[in-house]
Amino acid sequence: MTSSRILTSRISPQRDAGESSERDLIVIRDLVLRFRIGVYEHERLRAQRIRLNLVLEVDGSEAGDDIARVLSYDEIISGIKALAEGEHINLVETLAERIAELCFAHPNVGAVRVAVEKLDVYAQTESVGVEIQRRRRESADPSVYPLPGFFARAARPRPKHPATILCLDDEAIESTHRAAWLARALEHPGRVLLVADAGRYGAPLVEDTTLDRATAHHLRLMAMEQSARALATGHPLLLPCDSESALTHALEEGRIPVWLPVAMTLGRPEIVERAESSAASLALWLARHFGAARLLIVSEQSDPLPSEEAIDSRFAPPEDRFETRILSSADHGEVEIAAD
């Protein structure tokens, strides 16, 4: 008997007096997606396979044969995929709870059982994970159970964030103008997000021709993180951040996040593994993903965003909804940093 059949056979939520007896089960079995999940360092570096099994108990008394009046499993799967594309999650228990909350976004869902399993942890077992069962609470908190239509909204672009992303490429991060750009950013705490290229920390990678593409890409991202931490040293307002929630929290606290890209980008299908991945290309990805208001790229290159960039063009939106400007290192006194 598979785990999904065990899960289905065990769900039998108690019903309140007077509650409709016409309750149907929506079942999603063996949905496998890649999530960035786990507390260990190696789990933060690369997405891993997660198997999901869900059973939702819904009110089927008025469904008829009208798709508009039922909860479609397409909506559920779209919502879960949006979670998979989101920020890093530490615990499988947390992921199970978030999936349960998604399900309760639909008013007809009375109870849900969710099983979350990691498939690649131990060679001696098929999977390890957790199962939870939840019932809709009497007084649902709107912040916990979003309004109907959440699933459809989850796949849409995030709303514009007021932050400006300021990216310093290899030459800019090592130039004599770096301090001036940093001083300009520090004038706008809570409104600027910094992206630092690898600079001197990436120099050894250029000369090493023995590395395969994936390894070189990973090391390049790690070099960018070294550069970011070095940039933040000695500045209380600068805070290295490795997740979307950490970036958002730093901005809300009136600080300036400095992006650590490994956890958010490694293993994502739209990020092309390239030894020469530039901070400019990754900053463009971050601006799209984060929903920034502006992207300022400080570079001496004539085209820091070439057509062969680090982002697979198949995943690019039809058009970007933010302003992008290419600036030289000496332009720090000529441009307004924060968006209006």
Q: How much is the pLDDT for 230?
A: 94
| Owner of token pair 């939520």 | 13
The DSSP element (H or E) to which 59 belongs, if any, is: strand 48-59
The CA-atom distances, in angstroms, between 12 and each of 6, 59, 195, 273 are: 12, 14, 51, 47
Segments in the chain below pLDDT 50? 1-6, 8-14, 17, 138-160, 307-308, 312-315
Q: How much is the pLDDT for 162?
A: 66
Delimit the domains of the chain by residue range.
Answer: 3-8+21-154, 164-333
The CA-atom distances, in angstroms, between 20 and each of 26, 65, 104, 110, 318 are: 17, 19, 18, 11, 46
Which residue in 118, 134, 177, 332 is the catalytic one? 118
- Say if domain 3-8+21-154 classifies as CATH 3.30.1130.10: yes
Q: Can you give the pTM of this predicted structure?
A: 0.56
Cβ(290)–Cβ(244) below 8 Å: yes
Instruction: Give the integer Cα–Cα distance in Å for 322 and 219.
Output: 30
Q: To which CATH superfamily is domain 164-333 assigned?
A: Acetylglutamate kinase-like (3.40.1160.10)
Cβ(277)–Cβ(220) below 8 Å: yes
- Active-site residue 118, yes or no? yes
Q: How much is the pLDDT for 320?
A: 66
Instruction: Give the integer Cα–Cα distance in Å for 82 and 155.
Output: 6
